[in-house]
Structure formats: C-alpha cells, structure tokens
Copies of this chain bind each other. A is one copy, B any other.
Amino acid sequence: MEEDVEVSENLNNHLNYYQKEDQVLLAVDCIIFGFDKENLKILLIKRNFEPEKGKWSLIGGFLKKNENLDEAAVRVLETLTGLNDIYLEQIHTYSKIDRDPGQRTISVAYYALIDVDSHHFDGIQIDSAHWFDISEAPELIFDHNEMVQKAKARLKRRALSKPIGFELLPEKFTMRQLQNLYESILDKKLDKRNFINKINSLDVLIKLDEKDMSVSRKGAYLYVFDKDKYEKKVEEDGFIFKI
C-alpha cells in the first residue's frame, strides 16, 4: 500500500512540478563522539544487514518523507542510544556514485557529542555497538572513514571557537578533565597553567565549593559551565570564545 502511494505521488501527482527528475535515497550517518573524562571515543556498530554485513560502520538510517534531516539524525541516534537530547551538527553530504554498493545513496553526515558516563543510557540499544578510543577505531565500510576524518577536523575547529566541550563532559567537571578533553580533541599536550588562565579569562565557568576526590588525595574543584552567561556575552558584545 505504502509503496503504491509513493509511486503515485512521485510520478503521477499533478501538483508536482519536477516530475521528470531522478530521485535518490537519502541517508544520514552519525559520527558519535564521546568522552569518558580521559579519552575521546567514537561509537560504532557492527552492521547486521547486507551489504557489508558484519563490518564496522557508523550508525545511519534513511530520511523519511515526514521529517527533515536533523530530525532523521535525532531519530537514528535515539534508536541507538535511547537519548533524544544529543548535540548534533550537520557536516557534509557525500554523493560518490558507488559509495554504497547496495544502491545509489547520498548520505548526509552528522556529528554528535555525548558524555559517555553521565548519560547512562539504558544500555546501548544495539548489541553490536561499541565505544572505541578515537585512535583505535577499526576500518569502516564505504566512505565512513572519510566522514570520520572530516568530523574530527570539524570538532577540532569548533572546539577552538565554541564551548563545544561541555556537551562531552558531565555537568560538573574538573579543570583537568576539561584539559584532557581539549588535549584529546586537539591531539596535543597543553600547558596546565596557560590552559587554566585562558579558560578563566573567558569567564564562563562557575567554580563550585565541591571537590572531586576520586583522582587525587588533595581533590580537585568542580566547575559547571555557565551557559546563560556565555549566551548573554555572545549576544551583548559579540563575545568570541577562542581557545
């Protein structure tokens, strides 16, 4: 039934102006970055359908008639994680003719940022999903490696110009964790004092009277990101977040 409607809509509906044009399948694929207070991770799944069944892959899905691409990406992510409040951003659209040997498919890549620990999703919803350390991720199907490369580059750029990191951290975090995150994303060591000075000069963190005692004997103060303050700054004086 559904298919009949589809054919009729696409080829026979007199309200359509573009009847002679080729149609394509449009997919979304999500590069899901996570952070566990130590290392940057990526969430991958083992494909359980053909083609390329059994190989590692990004999670993806096809765009449906009744949703836009952002909504499709949210849906796809919810299917995997059970979460629907995940930070998502569109990156690039991939269209090589034979990129998917199954059928001509164009794919819109999104990247997502998740705090691995504090979003304790109800167990990942697909058994074969696995968090890989970003440096230890396996080869992926199709052009998914290329997508991941681009997403990493984008993440790096955004980390330098937006307070993107706070999507990847628990609500309360230590300076060391924030620095670990930036070091993972930028893939280089940073000087501790300079980093703290820089962050403090941005004036968008609130230092709590609370310490995380789980790592050191002295304990480390916890901070929260002051989103309102950040947004007010951006609005009022075109504040530029720049690390």
A residues with a Cβ closer than 8 A to B are 2-3, 6-7, 10-11, 15-18, 20-26, 49-51, 62-70, 90, 92-93, 95-97, 102-106, 108
Contacts and interface: CB of A to CB of B under 8 A. Distances in A.
A93 B95 CA distance: 12
A11 B7 contact: yes
6 contacts: A2-B20, A15-B103, A17-B50, A21-B62, A23-B24, A68-B95
Greatest chain B CB density within 10 A among A49, A50, A97, A103 is at A103
Contact of A102 (B16, B23, B69): B16
Given A67-B97, A68-B95, A17 B103 contact: yes
B106 A63 contact: yes
Contact of A17 (B2, B17, B65, B102): B102
Q: Which 3 A-B pairs have the closest CB atoms?
A: A17-B102, A23-B23, A69-B95
A93 B65 contact: no
A17 B25 CA distance: 11
Nearest to A69: B95
Nearest to A22: B65
A200 B44 CA distance: 47
Contacts of A62: 18, 21-22
Residue among A15, A16, A50, A93 with the most chain B CB within 10 A? A93
Contacts of A21: 25, 62
B24 A103 contact: no
Given A7-B11, A92-B90, A95-B69, A24 B102 contact: no
B16 A103 contact: yes
